[in-house]
Amino acid sequence: MENNGRPLAFWIFVFFLAISIALMLIGQTMSIFNYDFTVRHGLQESSEQVGEFGVQVNRAFGAGDTVVYIPLLIASLTGLLLKKRWSLISTAAVAGVSAYWSVTIIFIFLFLPGTPGYNYIPGFEIWLFVITYTVFGIWGFFYLLWRGGKLIK
């Protein structure tokens, strides 16, 4: 299926990248500078839920996302819109980071319950969020391997 000469997959990538940029800037970058803001807006867990150690781990993820993931998201979105061949590489990197990051979070949710100071129980929406990133990352990577060239034609 194509829309304006671009395959449906192109629009899935563009939508995912654009939404991710906004979510990461607000939820992850902001957590570095004003963690309480992100907690108030439901974008991070409180220290009562994850402990002080968990807050700092969340802030570290925020720093990593700010330094590595967000620039990759921006480069990928820009490159795909401009039909640049290098965007396939940056978008594959985004897919890999998305899958790795979300799978790590899933295992944090599975391994940490019962740990002193950790009381967080992720709701359905959080599971949906991390599973969406996992599926996107895995699907996106394999799509790029087999059909990536179609995104920039």
- 38: burial class by Cβ within 10 Å (0-12, 13-18, 19+)? buried
State pLDDT tens for residues 58-106: 999 999 999 999 999 999 999 999 999 999 999 999 999 999 999 999 9
| pLDDT band of 5, cuts 50, 70, 90 | confident
Given a contact cutoff of 8 angstroms between Cβ atoms, the answer to whether 92 and 127 are in contact is: no
State pLDDT tens for residues 108-147: 999 999 999 999 999 999 999 999 999 999 999 999 999 9
From CA 76, how far away is CA 64, in angstroms rounded? 17
Residues 6+ apart with CB under 8 A from 14: 77, 80, 81
Nearest to 12 by CA among 70, 85, 98, 71: 98
> How many Cβ atoms sit within 10 Å of the Cβ of residue 146?
9
What's the pTM? 0.92
| pLDDT band of 3, cuts 50, 70, 90 | low
Length of the chain: 153
Identify the pLDDT of residue 144: 97
State pLDDT tens for residues 34-52: 999 999 999 999 999 999 9
